[in-house]
Amino acid sequence: MSMKVIKTADANQTENIAEIIGGNLRGGEVIELVSDLGGGKTTFTRGLARGFGSPDRVASPTFTISKVYKSGSKEMHHFDFYRLPQAGLIEHELADVLTDKNCVVVIEWGDVVQHVLPEKRLTVAITQTDDDGRELKIKCADELSYLTEGLS
């Protein structure tokens, strides 16, 4: 397990950090995003999708629970379990994509699905330092160390 702490001054910087990680994705990875509401998880996902090579519009999937962003033959599945007391049927969908090597899984508010998530994942914990400032704590399983290549 490695950990990097990166401070960003605005949303663009957060997106740019995420874009570097997105560019390192190969398929089969799981990224968990942790923060308060408005912390920047969806903003971070926007950068991930851009780096991953998807032109699809990234928005909060709060009401649909999951969204898919395509990049060639690969897919990024973006889940948001905000305020869901249990994952229900979506847990099956999540379990399916977690085993698909063509899919990258990005999760917001993943508390209710912790038992399904692999140890081998990248976790980004975002905290607000001031209005536009954020601190990103990036925890990476050793097997996924290639994901943080290129980060300062």
Which residues of this protein are in contact with ligand ADP, per CB under 6 A? Answer: 8, 10-11, 13-14, 35, 37-43, 60, 108, 132-134
Of 41-49, 83-91, 97-105, 123-131, the segment contacting Mg ion by CB under 5 A is 41-49
Draw the binding track, 58-97, toward Mg ion (x: CB under 5 A; -: no contact): --x-------------------------------------
SS3 of residue 105 by DSSP: strand
Residue 83 Cβ vs ligand ADP, minimum distance, rounded to whole Å = 12
H/E stretch holding 19 reads helix 11-24
Q: Which two tokens stand for residue 97?
A: 């994509």
Q: Which two tokens stand for residue 64?
A: 């649909």
* Beta carbons of 18 and 41 less than 8 angstroms apart: no
Q: How many residues does the chain have?
A: 152
Which residue's structure tokens are 């629970």? 65
Q: What are phi and psi of 18, to 5 degrees?
A: -65, -35
Residue 130 Cβ vs ligand ADP, minimum distance, rounded to whole Å = 9
* Beta carbons of 9 and 133 less than 8 angstroms apart: yes
Give whichever of 75 and 109 is closer to ligand ADP, judged by the CB atom.
109
Q: What residue 39 binds from Mg ion, ligand ADP, none (CB within 5 to 8 A, per partner kind)?
A: ligand ADP
41 binding Mg ion? (CB under 5 A): yes
Query: How far is it, in rounded angstroms, from Cα 136 to Cα 138?
Result: 6
Of 52-60, 71-79, 84-92, 143-151, the segment contacting Mg ion by CB under 5 A is 52-60
Of the residues 8, 35, 42, 71, which one makes contact with Mg ion according to CB under 5 A: 42
